[in-house]
Each structure stands twice: as C-alpha cells, then as structure tokens.
Structure 1
Amino acid sequence: MGLLFLIKLEGKVYSCKHCQTHFALSEDIASKNFHCRHGKAYLFHRVVNVTVGEKEERMMITGMHTVVDIFCVGCGSIVGWKYESAREMNQKYKEGKFILERFGTIFRLARFKVLGPDGSHYMGIQEALVSGSDVEDA
C-alpha cells in the first residue's frame, strides 16, 4: 500500500462523517431530490477521494442501472454509489454521476454518512420527510 494523497477542496464541502475526508463541493450538486434505501441522498456531478467497488446491475425504482459502490479513501466507509450506465433513455443523465447518501433512518434511528458544508450531520425534519421526484432504492 502506497502513500495516500487526498484532494482538499475549498468552499462549501461535503465530507466523510467518520474522518472528514472531502468528497464534493455544494456547487457540484446536480440534484437534492434523491432518496436511497435509508433516506436522503444527493446526486453530484463530481466526487473526489473515493474508491469504487465492483460493477453490478441494480433494479431501482427508476429502472435497471449498472452501478459501483463508492467508499471513502480515508476510512473505507461506504458513502454512496456511482452510476455507470442506465438502460432507460430518460435515465441516461445519471451516467457518470455520483450519489452521496446524506441522511437516513435505520431501525427508526437517524443515521448519516456524509457531513454537510456547515458541518451538520442531520437535516431539518421537513427536508428529511419530503420525498423527491428522483427516488432510488439501492
């Protein structure tokens, strides 16, 4: 294993909840209207400091997609996934983009994976309850 080189971002940064490794800038958000299996998720154009897992086919609410899970390079936590390809033409806009899981509930307990730009690890009740137009279930 070699040296780990992390990219440090400047501005409003989304980062790992465990080790604060930078992932993305708020200006790189493509959509805040996504949900994953456990709660709120954001779609990003660009994400840094992650490694990818194996490609796999996943049936999601919006159809079949080829995705790879993404992991924090700092601590190895799974933080979301990257869309490799989409079968449906109206879902092609997701290809090459990343989902970072912001917030969720597991067994009725609030969980979060990614810290917001202000350091928050939770979102307001209203935002957590609003369902978006783009819902995914990975």
Structure 2
Amino acid sequence: MADLVGPRLYSCCNCRNHVALHDDIISKAFQGKHGRAFLFSHAMNVVVGAKEDRRLLTGLHTVADIHCGDCREVLGWKYERAYEAVQKYKEGKFIFEKSKIVKEDW
C-alpha cells in the first residue's frame, strides 16, 4: 500500500507550487527570520536571488534568498558559503521557513 503513495512534498504557502521533498530534510532544528526553519539538501521550482553576506546565529555566511518559482514569495535562503569550518556542511543547502511552506498530499 505504501508504494501507491507518492513522495511527501512541501509546497509554497502562497500558491502551492512544489518546492521540496520531505526525504531531503537534513534538520528541523534551524531558526529562520520568522521562526522555525528546516534545512534541506535540495530544492525545486525556486529562484535563487543575489548573494549577500549575512550574520546569522551561527556566524557569517554568504546566502541568497530563495523565491517560489511561480509567485515569487520569499521562502528562505540558500547557503552559498560558510566562513567557519564547522559550518561548511551547510554550503549548497537550503533553508525553508516553516511558516512559508505547507505539507502537500500527505
């Protein structure tokens, strides 16, 4: 029966565009601008904005906001560069704010 169910997806809270797979969650213990956030290994149907240096709770990072590919809602950011060695695992990963995504087809 489980084989008949499709992948568990997360969608944009605004337009329901599919943006991430549940199986790509690395951690649910992150903090976003607006509360809890999830770290994902991959994202889909998003547009990556301009890179900028941002001081976050874990130090200085180069990040780029990610926008929904359909409605352009800001959903979180992509880690482009971490300046501290212990934070390097975040490079190339995506933060989605929990308040900006919804579970789809669960």
Give the TM-score normalised by structure 1.
Answer: 0.70
Q: Secondary structure at the match of 1:27?
A: helix
* Residue 117 of structure 1, CA deviation: 4.1
Whether 1:84 aligns to 2:77 is no
Whether 1:113 aligns to 2:77 is no
Name the counterpart of 2:53: 57
Q: Secondary structure at the match of 1:116?
A: strand
Identity in percent: 51
Name the counterpart of 1:25: 21
Matched letter for residue 80 of structure 2: E
Matched letter for residue 44 of structure 2: V
- Unaligned 5+ segments in structure 2 are 1-5
- Which deviates the most, 10-19 or 43-52? 10-19
* Residue 23 of structure 1, CA deviation: 0.7
* Residue 52 of structure 1, CA deviation: 1.0
Matched letter for residue 71 of structure 1: H
The CA distance in 2 between the partners of 1:28 and 1:37, in whole Å, is 21
- Structure ranking higher in helix proportion: 2
For the aligned residue pairs, the C-alpha RMSD in angstroms reads: 1.2
Contact 1:26 1:117 in 2 (8 A): no
Give the TM-score normalised by structure 2.
Answer: 0.90
